[in-house]
Structure 1
Amino acid sequence: MTPADLLLPLLVVLPLALAMSAFLGALPVRSQVVIALGGLTLTGAGLAATLETLDSELWLGGWAPPLGIAWGFDAPAAALIAMVGLLMALASLTLAAESNHREDRYLWTLWWLLWAALNALLLSRDLFNLYVTLELLALAAVGLVSRSRDDPFHVAALRYLMASLLASLLYLLGVALLYGQTGRLDLALLAEVLEDGPAARLGALAITLGLMIKAAMVPLHGWLPAAHSRASAPVSALLSGAVVAAALMVLWRLWLGPFDALGSLMRETLAGLGAVALVWGGVQALLQSRLKLVIAWSTLSQSGYALMLPALAGSDAWQGIGARGALWLLVAHGLAKGGLFLAAGAVAQRQGHDRLAGLTGSARRQPLAWGVIAIGGLSLVGIPPSGGFVGKWWLLRAALEAELWLLAGVMLTGTLLTAAWLWRLLSIALAPAERSATSLEGGRSAVGILPAMALTALAWLTGLAALLGAAGLALAPPSLDATRLPWLLPALLLWPLVLCASRSATPAGRASGSPPGLTALLALTAAAHLVTLTAGDLFTFYLGTAWLGLAGWGLVWLGSTPGAHRAAAGYLAMMLVAEVSLLLGLTLAWQASPSLAFADLDEAGLPGPALAALGFGLAIKTGAIGVHAWLPLAHPVAPPLASAVLSGLMIKVGLLGGVLLLGDGAAAAGDALVAAGLAGALYGAARGLAQAGPKPLLAWSSVSQMGLATALLGLHLLGSPAALPALLGLVATHSLAKAALFIGSGLLMGSGLFARSAASRALVLGALALPALTLAGVPPSSGLAVKAGMETALNEAALAAWPLTLSGVMTSLVMLRLGWLLWRLEPPAGGTAPPTWLGVALWGLGALAALLPWAWAGVPLAYLAAPGAWLEALLPALAALALGLVLLRAAPLHRRLAWRRWRAQVASRARRLQAGREARRWRWRLRRADAWLMPWPAFGVCLGLTALLLGLAGLA
């Protein structure tokens, strides 16, 4: 007897003993919970000390199979038993804190029975014992749902019971068929004797249908949303996190064990049904009107990943990356979903309901509960380094290795759908609070929130543990090579300045755009930005960009303009598409090279699909033409300090990724990047000229400058020696200059600034003149060096330089219009001057933007001594000045442009209203489509169609 043989029975005996004591009333609830926690701790510590016996087998009564019953304890069972134990322990604390459940001995009897059934199910290794434990599990779960006050007529519980009984009959039918054919029930022995044939496939079909009903796989899911949403929060946490996971584990053991010899088309059909569940569950979660219903539907979506495992496991079964990814995803999902349901219960108890329409602004009243929902939801989305990310990443690699591109696409789509419903919840919770909102005091308070916080933290710690112990994954330490200095030095200058300005307690600091929470969010953004800039490998770079995207959404959300929330939604949508594309590229790169260090990836050579996926994601991050829609929406509505870092620093991350990743393998895209970049430079400048406000103009100017950067990156890929120095100079120039322009514009536009004297306004306008002239390329600023370097690069590539000259003219016009708009701003009355240090900092940023980039631009300072160079550099600015004077006198043209702009705004508003009506119509149709599946006749039709589909697959 090993220590594991002595400890394993305790996992079942202890909860059974607690169930008996609860039923008899022999122990108070608090004592039961203390005993459960103590037993769980001792058993967990003992099993952890015997990790070498993970593949042990215990024969109950000493009788070996086939006469006896075998229990098995391996890595998958250990992982799920640990997850169930943690979930049970923390949910028990929450359940014990609820006064209306504290004296319900029947509920606590069912509660401990459910724990015993879960542990026994995960340890069982024969078909009939699995049937018995599945029955006990279902009866305990149904009884717990029936004890809820939200299901007074037991409709949800009865529906759960009927579906579970039907599933048990199908499972038992399959067991009878297999036992009649082989005379074996033990899974290991069954795998040895089971032969592929019609009877075996029919038995596997019946068992699979039964388990799909118990796991609520679409379209056999009709019982789950009501049962999980109407049960009390701790019960919902256990049902969603553990009960569904246990049924899926049984399905995995059968299809990776005895059923592995059966037709591969059945496994592929299961994967297809999982893809349908993933998408349908995500769509329905997005459409729900109650908080717990959203979380319940997300369980259906996340479970869809599990059905893909039989098609992705490969010949290594549990040792393959697909199986490890699915297992890690199931564990992380159980922990995160437990935290979500407990937090949702706290919100519902405080508010008196969980209707989303009545939760507007509730995050300000319950920040801890909504923080748990946000963090747990981010794990479900797959933000690194959470457990959800690790599971999805490994599953995605398994799909790509199996060349199942459609499944890989569905996995990435599921990530977007999860992010969509999470964004909807958070946007409701963070919206301005309604005055009529009411809340209920008392109840769960911090006792219920702390277990939820612990569960969500564990969901993230599982990801870190998986990454630290992952075999075949090599990362690199941070890098500070010379190529990164044009990104790093502006960041080290701007982040302290912006953080100090956001913390300023002066009226100037408040008016410069410092809403509540801005400083903390800027600090998080700064940390993510510096991690990204110093990343020595692709994984760390991806991690930093993912968090930058989230932080950027928050910065845009904090804007005070009416369109800030809509712009934040557009920004987040584009960033999520970028992250999905980068994740795909990261996975393909990991296939090509076990080391994700940039130097090793360059040596190994990335395949074309990886370069394409990475390039697309980096293009979105940069705001390149064609995928730039988020930039002119987000930057104008964000607080000025946020706009300064969004435009000055964060959009350059894509350029850094392009320099580090796009090498010789992407040379074929060089011409396309040059053409698109130059077109984007001209288009962005043209749109900037049509803007009526300083911040929208600056946003379109960023589109134009990123077009020039894209063209330089393309020239670098074409092999031009002058392109990279010019690109580095442009990065440094634009970072410092655009940050100064956004901060200064925010100061001039802010309430209560500079009305005391015209001299203070002139001081700020003078500080903004230097970065504006730098961007226009007026000598002796560094803009001259950047333009000269780019012209040299175009000549080296045998390309025409006239688009660059035209871009210089248009950029100069944009800067002239910016100065005109700022000069015409009406200062509000009663203002004060800005703090002296902020004015000095603006002048310093302008001077650095004009001088510092000369160190990287690749043009010698002696170039300034050439009179021809000065004249050539001044011509675009002089032409722009002349053209600007002409346009200034063209009053009819201005009125005509204003009229057209007004008509375009009216048409755009009408299109948005029409799109909103169409979206509501489709929302009603989709919700109605799932309502059609709820009646029992529809359930029967779905069962028949699913059986027919799997049966036809089994005939192949």
Structure 2
Amino acid sequence: MIETLTAWSLPLLVVLPLGLALAAFFGLGSPRRQVMVGLAAIGIALAAAALSLLPQSIGTIAVGGWQPPVGILWRLDVSGALMLGMTALVAGAGSLALLHDPEIQRDRYLWSLWWLLWGGLNALLLSRDLFNLYVTLELVALAAVGLVALSRYDPQGRAALRYLLASLLASLLYLLGVALLYGQTARLDMTLLAEQLDDGGATRLAAVAISLGLLIKAAMVPLHAWLPAAHARARPPVSAMLSATVVAAALFILWRLWLGPFAALRLPLRELLTLLGSAALIWGGLQALLQTRLKLMIAWSTLSQSGYALLLLGLAGSQGWPGSGSTENMATAGALLMLLAHGLAKAALFLAAGAIATAHGHDRLAGLTGSATPLPLAWLAVALAGISLVGIPPTGGFVGKWWLLQAAIAEGRPMIGLSLLLGTLLTAAWLCRLLDLALRPVCAAPASLPRLSPRGEPSQLIARLTQLALGLALLAWLLGPAALLAAGGIRLALPWPDPLGLAFLLPALAIWPLAIGVAARWRAHFPAPDRLLRLLLAAALAHALTLLAQDLLTFYIGVALLSLLGWALVQHHGTPHARRAGAGYLTMMLLAEVAMLAGLALVATTGTDLRFTALAADGMPPLALACLAAGLAIKAGVIGVHAWLPPAHPVAPPMASAVLSGLMIKAGVLGALRLLPEAAGVADWGLPLVTVGLLAALYGALRGLPQDRPKSLLAWSSVSQMGLITALLGLVLLESPHADALSVLLLLVTVHALAKAALFLGTGMLPRTSGTNRRWVLLGMLLPALTLAGVPLTGGIWIKAGMETALDGSDLPSWPITLSGIATGLLMLRLFWLLQRQPTSDANSPALPRGLWLGWWGLGIAAALLPWGWQAAAPMTAHPGDAVLKGMLAPLTALALAGMALPAHRLHARIALHRDAWRRRSERHAHRQARQLRTLGWQLRRADAWLLPWPAFGISLGLLALAMGLASLVPG
């Protein structure tokens, strides 16, 4: 039965597309009928081929019944089946897109080339004969060149001609290498060739020639001059096919050769190819970041992502090809998954770019500002596909990078690991530049937005391209969980509330509904209110996943998604200040993601059980713990890595600031509590954390005092309060005999979340109210402010008392808590002074339902009363009377200092003068840096332009051939 399935399914994958190409050329049947027949038959053939692989690792068929070395043998292993499946998905989506393009839906020449390309790719992925591979490479190249030439975006055929000449040169080099190998061994089948291949001069020269040919076809730096123009000027479905499958096929053959017959050569040439991969990854990412057109940006991204594929050659070692029956490692599986995820995501990007360009009539980035408003689904597809390319969990790109990073660590190749992480940052940079443009508020006239009739042909094409792009992007996301399930071995836990998670979950249950309710009620008072509401809902779900996570991978998925959504919330208004703050926030969060990804890979190299309970019992490598701690510190805004926090909170909408400061910033604290206290060797971190935390508490309050905006002051207050939390975490790590440290820490996290959410929401409500409502808002903000300052009769006094008790129990001085209380008291007095000076709204005040008013008041009341209940249930100090008396010192001192400073008008004027001068210097410095970056970008783009002329291409090819030749002379 298996042999029968293989005997008819494998030839059908090639014969059917070739037959459809002939039918299209002679006009036999409409394109719609051809697509229906082709998709159905190829789907059946792929399913049959997959079934044939279940009981065995390789399916084979001898073409014409002749066995090698006389005949040609087709082989289908698991990796080949996956590539065929990805090709079928992309080609199927492209076929449906072409059917809805009114300009070309009946172009028989285009359809002939399209089916020819698909059939050639299928034959290429099945072939194991070097000459048969040459024939299929030529077939694919000629069909691809013809499809580019038929595009109206390349009217003079320059991109197609450059592609053709580069492909012909590559084919000549490849054929030269095949001839040399055949002359040495009289064999062309890869399996037989591997058995008879000798490590001689002719064999090495053949390996160099074949590799050079495939590098040109894969557009690897510096032989990439043909790719950007060809991919950018082709029609969107053709660009999707070229980027996702044609380039990937060349890399796939390169893998098969160097992990198959050429593995016996053991040459340093593999190291040179790995270096080329790193160069392509970095150069392509930089050039993508600098482009001014959407499709060119995506095309350059293809060049960058292809660099990941060559990194495999430096990581696979002596391992064979996956599915060939040899021992596999994480590198081969990770690289294959990266190739599959890249194909799906890049196809989605090109189809979505086609929808956007069709709607606007162009793909210039400068003209796409605010495009996410009229085209939300198209840009959602761009975001989902781009996130997979970046490697944010749980996408296929993340799992592939995770496995590659694990292999780099296991093989002791830190430079390859650094290249992986640097490529991640560059991909994130161009994606965020793109999304920032799309999400920016539209300043132009409404007529500049795309206006299409919902029944017109362009609108139908846009809708179909968008739907197909969304489908492929979702498949790129689903590829990650599917790969983890198929691989097995990793032990995870279902998200579930535990006592520690509940301590963070309870304030979230109070704050999230209130923030979402206010956003829904005040829809008319914020830009893009629907998008803001969706972002808050998505962030609430990601936050819930983070709090309920019981294993490291699920927790990392939650905090990574929170970081992306937090960036969207910070830059939501789209003003220059908001965009700069968003860029700073995202930069820091990406550094945190890179650190946590490295830590996750290090943990996974020592064990497969990622549950927090198992990690606590088995321990973690010190370097993994340090990487995870660094990422969590950035997310928590710990002093030293807090640069993102003060600019981010003031520019975000008040509802976003409430959840950012009150809840999302605490994810880093939760991660630290889950990982650090039970880890070995972290007790030595306790005293430094206590010292740094107490200094941060004082520093944050002092930096907040000169601020002249309430939200800026509250942002620095968050830095101060996170300092206190850091100090308490240090006390927990010190293993103090007083168990109060953890209790006080959890209480402070809860009270700070409630109080800061109430204050940020209040600062957003105050400018939009007047009269009696304004006074009620000020009164509602008073209680949480007094609680943060630790004023007696509010619960804050018990938090301060508990911290002093924990410090005394660890033989550490407690007077910094008093200083921090004085500074916080001054900060809250300054806050209300600024609030009183804010202008009263003349417009109609936004109405809030009574439930939301009561909910907002309830946050402040809960923050003030909760510590009293905590003190009654689990006393934090044995002498409450003394604590109350001592607690009066800080607020009274703050009042006295404020009373002395308030009449000092000259001092206030001098501070304001210095503050304004500092701001002007900062703006001049920012403008100077922007000019320098623009100059650097222009120089980088010009540097790549030098590689475009054919003489430069020839020089690059000669230098690369010389380098590869020299590398082949060095013994392995």
For this structure pair, what is the TM-score category when the shorter chain's length is used for normalisation?
Answer: over 0.9
Give secondary structure in 2 for the equivalent of 1:71.
Answer: strand
Is the CA contact (8 Å cut-off) linking 2:535 and 2:565 kept in structure 1? yes
User: Contact 1:560 / 1:639 at 8 angstroms: preserved in 2?
Assistant: no
Instruction: Give the equivalent residue in structure 1 for 2:697.
Output: 681
| Of 19, 23, 26, the match for 1:24 | 26
CA displacement 1:181-240 (0-9 Å, x = unmatched) = 222111001111112232222111111111000000111101000111011111111000
Corresponding residue SS for 2:947: coil
Offset at residue 33 of structure 1 (A): 1.0
> What is aligned with 2:303?
300
Q: 2:645 aligns with which of 628, 631, 642?
A: 631
In the alignment, what sits opposite 1:395?
Answer: 404
CA change 1:914–1:54 in 2 (3 A) is: same
Identity of aligned residues (%): 57
1:596-626 deviations in whole A, cap 9, x for unaligned?
0001111111111111111111011001111
1:855 shift after superposition: 5.9
| Greater alpha carbon shift after TM alignment, 666-675 vs 804-813 | 666-675
CA RMSD after TM alignment:
1.8
Deviations 1:248-287 (CA, angstroms, capped at 9, x unpaired): 1100100110011112422222111101100100000000
Are positions 1:465 and 2:482 aligned together? yes
In structure 2, the partner of 1:524 is: 538
Aligned to 1:890: 904
SS in 1 for 2:902: helix
What's the CA shift for 1:853?
A: 4.0
Q: Measured at CA, do residues 293 and 513 of structure 1 come closer, stay the same or move farther in structure 2, by a change above 3 Å?
A: closer
Seen in structure 2, the aligned counterparts of structure 1 residues 560 and 634 have a Cα distance that, compared at 3 Å, is same
Give the Cα separation in 2 of the matches to 1:855 and 1:587. 43
Q: Report deviation, 1:44.
A: 2.3
The answer for the alignment partner of 1:715 in structure 2 is: 731
| 1:776 equivalenced with 2:789 (yes/no) | yes
Alpha-carbon distance change, 734 to 189 in structure 1, aligned in 2, over 3 angstroms: same
CA distance in 1, matches of 2:876, 2:696: 32
SS at match of 2:103: helix
Contact 2:798–2:871 (CA under 8 A) maintained in structure 1: yes
Q: Does structure 1 retain, via aligned residues, the 8 Å contact 2:243–2:302?
A: yes
Paired AA for residue 310 in structure 1 = L
In structure 1, give the amino acid aligned to 2:548. Answer: T
Find the residue that maps to 1:606 and give its secondary structure. coil
Q: Which moved more, 1:610-619 or 1:40-49?
A: 40-49
Instruction: State which of 11, 15, 20 in structure 1 corresponds to 2:13.
Output: 11
Q: Check 1:853–1:562 CA distance in 2 against 1; reply closer, same or farther (3 A cut).
A: farther
| Structure 2 Cα separation of the partners of residues 412 and 383 of structure 1 | 12
- Structure 2 length normalisation: TM-score? 0.95
Q: Residue 475 of structure 1 is aligned with which of 492, 499, 521? A: 492
Q: Quick check: 308-317 or 395-404, which moved more?
A: 308-317
* Matched residue, 1:731: 749
Match of 2:518 among 484, 495, 501: 501
The alpha-carbon deviation at position 857 of structure 1 amounts to 7.3
State the secondary structure of the residue aligned to 1:827: coil
Q: Is the contact between residue 187 and residue 258 of structure 1 (CA under 8 Å) also seen in structure 2?
A: yes
Cα separation, 2, equivalents of 1:2 and 1:862: 76
CA contact (8 A) 1:774 1:783 kept: yes
Q: Distance in 1 between matches of 2:476 and 2:867?
A: 45
1:430 shift after superposition = 1.9
Pick aligned residue for 2:708 from 653, 668, 692? 692
Given the alignment of the two structures, is residue 844 of structure 1 paired with residue 846 of structure 2, yes or no?
Answer: no
1:451 pairs with one of 444, 447, 468: 468
Tell me, in whole angstroms, the C-alpha distance in 1 between the residues paired with 2:472 and 2:746.
45
Counterpart for residue 933 of structure 1: 947
Q: Are the counterparts in 2 of residues 382 and 415 from structure 1 also a CA contact under 8 Å?
A: yes
CA distance in structure 2 between the partners assigned to 1:335 and 1:523 by the alignment: 27
1:48 maps to: 50
Q: Distance in 1 between matches of 2:868 and 2:595?
A: 35
Partner Cα separation in structure 2 for residue 234 and residue 650 of structure 1 = 40
Given residue 5 of structure 1, which amino acid in structure 2 is its aligned partner? A
1:182 has 2:185 as partner: yes
| Residues in 1 aligned to 2:388 and 2:16: alpha-carbon distance in whole angstroms | 32
Are residue 386 (structure 1) and residue 395 (structure 2) matched?
yes
Q: Deviations over 1:493-531 (max 9, x none)?
A: 1112222222226xxx75599934222211111100010
1:622 to 636, 643, 654: 636
Task: Find out whether 1:801 has 2:810 as its counterpart.
Answer: no
Per-residue deviation, residues 805-845 of structure 1 (Å, max 9, x unmatched)? 21111011101111222223221225447543333223321
- Between 679-688 and 95-104, the greater mean CA deviation after superposition: 95-104
Q: What residue identity is the alignment partner of 2:881?
A: P
Structure-2 change in CA distance of 1:308 and 1:266 (3 Å): same
Contact 2:789 2:796 in 1 (8 A): yes
Quick check: 1:314–1:320 contact (8 Å CA) kept in 2? no
Query: More deviation in 414-423 or 54-63?
Result: 54-63
Question: Aligned in 2, Cα 1:676/1:142: closer, same or farther, shift over 3 Å?
Answer: same
Quote how far apart the aligned CAs of 1:655 are. 0.4
Partner of 2:412: helix, strand, or coil? coil
Aligned residues: 948
State whether structure 2 residue 832 is matched by structure 1 residue 819.
yes
> Is the CA contact (8 Å cut-off) linking 1:636 and 1:695 kept in structure 2?
yes
Aligned AA for 1:483? L
2:502 pairs with one of 467, 480, 485: 485
1:668 counterpart SS class:
helix
1:437: which partner in 2?
448
Report the secondary structure of 1:73's partner residue.
strand
Contact preservation (8 Å) 1:512, 1:746: no
In 2, Cα distance between the equivalents of 1:118 and 1:448?
A: 23
Supply the distance in 1 between the matched residues of 2:153 and 2:118 (Cα, whole angstroms): 23
Cross-structure match for 1:594: 608
Counterpart among 567, 577, 581 of residue 567 in structure 1: 581
2:325 matched residue in structure 1? none
Report the equivalent of 1:905.
Answer: 919
Counterpart AA for 1:373: V
**Residues of 2 paired with 1:31 and 1:716: CA distance?**
70
Residues 356 and 378, structure 2, Cα contact 8 Å, conserved in 1: yes
TM-score, normalised relative to structure 1:
0.97
Which residue number in structure 2 is paired with residue 419 of structure 1? 428
String of CA shifts for 1:864-887, please: whole Å, max 9, x gaps: 864322111110111111001001
Residues in 1 aligned to 2:838 and 2:260: alpha-carbon distance in whole angstroms: 74
Once the two structures are overlaid, the 10-residue window that deviates more, 845-854 or 647-656, is: 845-854
Cα shift readout 1:132-162 (whole Å, capped 9, x = no counterpart): 1111111111111111111111111111111
In the TM superposition, residue 330 of structure 1 has moved relative to its aligned partner by: 0.7
SS of the counterpart of 2:60? strand
Counterpart secondary structure, 1:221: coil
